[in-house]
Amino acid sequence: MRFRSSRPSEIGDVDALIVPIFEKGESPAGLPRALRSAIERVHAEAGGVRLYNATTHVGGERGLPTRLVIVNAGDPKEWSVERVRNVASAGVKTLWRSTAKKAAVVVAPGAIGAERAAQATVEGVIYAMFRPEAHRSSPGDRRLPPLATVTLALDEKADVREAIRRGEAVGDAVNIARRLANEPANKMTPTLVSEEARALAKEHGIEIDVFDRERCRKLGMNSYLSVAQGSHEPPKFIVMRYRGRGGRGYDIAFVGKGITFDSGGISLKDPDGMFHMKADMTGAASVIAAIAAVARLGIKANVLTVAPCTENLPGGGATKPGDVFTSMSGRTVEVINTDAEGRLVLIDGVTYAQREGATRVVDVATLTGAIQIALGTHFTGLFGRPDSFVEEVRAAGTDAGDRLWAMPLTDEYREEIRSEIADITNSAGRDGGAIKGAAFIDAVVDEGTKWAHLDIASTYWSDKDRAHSPKGPQGPAVRTLIELARRAAAR
């Protein structure tokens, strides 16, 4: 699919035209008068006012394209990057099962400016081109429009070629994370995740190492390996290094939880909804996709990605509640609940990143169901220290389009995860569960490290269609990580 830009009056012959229309029925400026009149007439006849509701007019009468898609854009005063994305996605989703090869999307810059609006439009188009039905036998059940060209119709003399390039890289990265998380566990084992990472590393010039069980044991990663004891699938500890500015050290490190299937281990989960646990490796998928986009964009920052991958299954060799292990940091860990395994994996991943010299670390994990109880399904939980770094990550997420909500993390919670027989325990009761999970990871964060933890268990999956994506995996945090790398380069 190729993107280009043009003035609205010069889009040429297209199979579909997607147009945002605001709450008072105003179509964007720059379109021919006859087309604007037709748009406003179709919109008035439809009578829909719900945000992102799309009305499709098929006809092709004089002055109109074959397919005219009008998307309600709400109050123009609330026009934002995320709203631009959602309008574009909602419009493209109406083309599913169509034969449209050439489409145009009218870009309304508003207060956000032409470049940001153009990038967001490209991202939105790409997001709408993801479908979760990858393994249906009939291609007709998962058909997408054969879009070859998408034109951004922009009524400004702005060069948006760089914005289009960024939008393609970010949009593709989010869809990569979605695709990996959507795969069933038998088709996305730790080994297969490592193969996907190797392919992306080769494509984008990224250094990669994949540590096996023996190498991890020599490095002292006994907390991570404890989760892998019940599975016949070998664990894979994936390390990716991108040196955009050259020289020594890393400007930022990303650590992603990579549990390719989580049964809960001996502390077995309820069977209802357990199939979603194929996507418990969304953190790993996100960090792998993000570093690929950082390299594709040529961002001038050194970035380290760590993705500890394994399955968490019961078995004769599985970790038992009450077992104690020594983590890579030297901290001893009492495992009270084997279903609180993500934090066991992450502490060795965070420690490894610090041993490699990273002093700014962001981990991403589907860590706790408790975060969804606290925030619902629209915000990711954000923890960390110091407060200045937490705010930096929150601001980056806001600019990138991810909704992050800062949560408390104080000494009272750190005290609650103290074990009676070891240094820390991986389960300390249901109340404040998301905070205690973050406190467990915090226990291995060095004094001089700036650290943030993104608990994406509230945002990694949607059980219903949304404007920017179908139901299924959502690809959270990818945009935030790319933006953090960009800001690191700017420093």
Residues annotated as part of the active site: 269, 343
The burial of 336, by beta-carbon neighbours within 10 Å (0-12 exposed, 13-18 middle, 19 or more buried), is given as middle
| HEC letters along the chain | CEEEEECHHHCCCCCEEEEEECCCCCCCCCCCHHHHHHHHHHHHHHCCCCCCCEEEEECCCCCCCCEEEEEECCCHHHCCHHHHHHHHHHHHHCCCCCCCCEEEEEECCHHHCHHHHHHHHHHHHHHCCCCCCCCCCCHHHHCCCCCCEEEEEECCCCCCHHHHHHHHHHHHHHHHHHHHHHCCHHHCCHHHHHHHHHHHHHHHCCEEEEECHHHHHHCCCHHHHHHHHHCCCCCEEEEEEEECCCCCCCCEEEEECEEEEECCCCCCCCCCCHHHHHHCCHHHHHHHHHHHHHHHHCCCCEEEEEEEEEEECCCCCCCCCCCEEECCCCCEEECCCCCCCHHHHHHHHHHHHHHCCCCEEEEEECCCCHHHHHHCCCCEEEEEECHHHHHHHHHHHHHHCCCEEECCCCHHHHHHCECCCCCEECCCCCCCHHHHHHHHHHCCCCCCCEEEEEECCCCCEECCCECCECCEECCCCHHHHHHHHHHHHHC
The Cα 249–Cα 302 span in angstroms is: 7
Q: Do the Cβ atoms of 91 and 153 come closer than 8 Å?
A: no
Give which of 406, 416, 458 is closest to 437, Cα–Cα: 416
The Cα 3–Cα 107 span in angstroms is: 13
The Cα 60–Cα 302 span in angstroms is: 51
